[in-house]
């Protein structure tokens, strides 16, 4: 006997990356920032008065929203703070998609999108990326002809790390009849010379919702705090109707604001990741493990079939190094490797050299 709804009973849940208990493991599997949080976060945590924890937190994270608004040069009313980026994804579905409407993605992509659609009970439609990870030319035409209500588009892409330009995204938003959610979880690691900033799209288009998170760029994955930026017609119903009453806690709000306001520290960590990403990509390519051009804090590494990506993943795991291997169709011959500390990256490379020389 089961009380599950039919769609819940038939779906497979999301499988998160492994979180080992041992601190000896080199964790390069879940795209965490190799830097610790800013010292300003430590100071903010130390200054928290435990007496304040008996009260509910500010329901809309007003102080944090003010700080985010100042950072982006946009009104606080255009911002919603959420319990991790995943809550924003769920809110977008619950608020804007009827169960007889459809969500679309371009695959390969973040697998949680499909899980959330299945849990909601709506249609989930996949369009394939080109072999070079670019969008097909008829992507928007396909969205509109399929009556897509909501499209999830990670940018930089997950799992490839490739980047769509602001102009390309503007073209999509202009032509698309539905809501375009641009998942910018990894945006902080983009080369600053590209001057990539999608906030202007929110001011120009009423059908664009941006997802930002403190998990990656600000080293606060353990806090589960993120935010969305969008037109009032998008933000207001989520803020006032569908989000939990107190969806982010007092501590998370305080610490996220401290991290955001220490841009000097944050930018140092982003610069470090970009430098290490370049070094790691060059070294892996020289080993015969070419990488997709990435603007994120990870590399998607192509593993020759003769080596076998899953076997290589298991061999690294046996030696205390965790990377990510996906068994989804089209990704069987890839490993996704997070850019780690300089020491961790060197150990990864030396271990790979040893494994490949013995294969």
pTM recorded for the entire structure: 0.96
Q: Are 257 and 60 in contact (CB under 8 A)?
A: no
74 in the same domain as 162: yes
Domain match, 23 and 144 both: no
Residues 81 and 211 in one domain: yes
Whole-number Å distance between alpha carbons of 246 and 23: 33
In the structure encoding, which two tokens stand for residue 74, read together?
């946009």
Residues 52 and 200 in one domain: yes
Domain that holds residue 184: 39-262
Together in a domain, 219 and 253? yes
Tokens representing residue 240 in the block: 């006032």
Question: Which of these three, 203, 232, 262, is where a domain ends?
Answer: 262
Where among 262, 291, 325 does a domain terminate? 262
By the 8 A CB rule, do 83 and 248 touch?
Answer: yes
Do residues 31 and 88 both lie within one domain?
A: no
C-beta of residue 317 within 8 angstroms of C-beta of residue 3: no
Same domain membership, residue 285 and residue 228: no
- Domain contains 1: no
Residue 238, CA distances (Å) to 81, 96, 203, 253, 274 in order? 10, 9, 18, 18, 35
Residue 302: helix, strand or coil by DSSP?
A: strand
Q: In which residue ranges of the chain is pLDDT below 70?
A: 1, 359
Pick the last residue of a domain from 220, 236, 262.
262
User: Which CATH number does the domain housing residue 103 bear?
Assistant: 3.40.640.10
Shared domain check, 47 and 28: no
Residues 218 and 78 in one domain: yes
Do 76 and 151 reside in the same domain of the chain? yes
What are the structure tokens assigned to 177, written together? 């009849």
Q: Are residues 195 and 80 in the same domain?
A: yes
* Rama region for 224: left / alpha / beta (φ>0; ψ in -120 to 50; rest): left
Domain for residue 10, yes or no? yes
pLDDT tens digits along 129-157: 999 999 999 999 999 999 999 999 999 99
Q: Which of 268, 306, 304, 301 is nearest to 283 (CA)?
A: 301
Q: By the 8 A CB rule, do 33 and 219 touch?
A: yes
Residues 249 and 342 in one domain: no
Helical pair 84-96 and 112-120, crossing angle rounded to 10 deg: 40
In a domain, 117, yes or no: yes
Q: Tell me the pLDDT tens digit for each residue of 5-47.
A: 989 988 888 888 888 877 789 999 999 999 999 999 999 999 9
pLDDT of residue 13: 87
pLDDT at residue number 168 = 98
How many structural domains does the chain have? 2
**Which DSSP symbol is given to 190?**
S
Report the pLDDT value the prediction gives residue 359, as an integer from 0 to 100. Answer: 67
CATH of the domain at 344: 3.90.1150.10
């Amino acid at each position: 006997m089961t009380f599950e709804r039919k769609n819940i009973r038939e779906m497979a849940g999301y499988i998160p990356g492994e979180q080992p208990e041992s601190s000896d493991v080199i964790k390069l599997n879940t795209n965490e920032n190799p830097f610790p949080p800013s010292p300003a976060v430590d100071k903010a945590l130390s200054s928290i008065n435990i007496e304040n924890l008996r009260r509910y937190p500010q329901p809309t994270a007003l102080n944090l929203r003010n700080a985010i608004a100042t950072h982006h040069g946009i009104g606080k009313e255009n911002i919603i703070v959420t319990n991790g980026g995943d809550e924003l994804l769920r809110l977008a579905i619950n608020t804007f998609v009827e169960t007889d409407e459809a969500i679309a993605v371009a695959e390969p992509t973040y697998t949680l999108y499909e899980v959330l659609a299945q849990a909601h009970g709506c249609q989930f439609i996949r369009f394939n990326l080109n072999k070079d990870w670019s969008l097909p030319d008829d992507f928007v035409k396909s969205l509109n002809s399929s009556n897509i209500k909501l499209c999830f588009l990670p940018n930089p892409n997950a799992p490839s790390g490739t980047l769509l330009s602001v102009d390309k995204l503007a073209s999509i938003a202009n032509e698309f009849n539905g809501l375009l959610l641009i998942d910018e979880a990894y945006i902080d690691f983009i080369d600053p010379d590209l001057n990539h900033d999608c906030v202007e799209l929110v001011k120009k288009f009423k059908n664009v919702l941006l997802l930002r998170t403190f998990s990656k760029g600000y080293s606060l994955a353990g806090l589960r705090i993120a935010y969305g930026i969008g037109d009032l017609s998008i933000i207001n119903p989520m803020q006032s109707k569908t989000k939990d009453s107190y969806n982010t806690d007092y501590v998370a709000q305080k610490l996220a604001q401290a991290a955001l306001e220490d841009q000097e520290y944050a930018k140092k960590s982003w610069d470090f990741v970009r430098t290490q990403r370049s070094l790691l990509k060059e070294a892996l390519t020289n080993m015969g493990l070419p990488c997709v051009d990435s603007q994120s804090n990870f590399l998607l590494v192509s593993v020759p079939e003769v080596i076998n990506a899953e076997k290589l993943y298991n061999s690294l795991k046996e030696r205390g190094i965790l990377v990510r291997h996906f068994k989804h169709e089209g990704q069987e011959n890839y490993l996704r490797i997070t850019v780690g500390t300089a020491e961790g990256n060197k150990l990864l490379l030396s271990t790979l050299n040893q494994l490949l020389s013995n294969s």
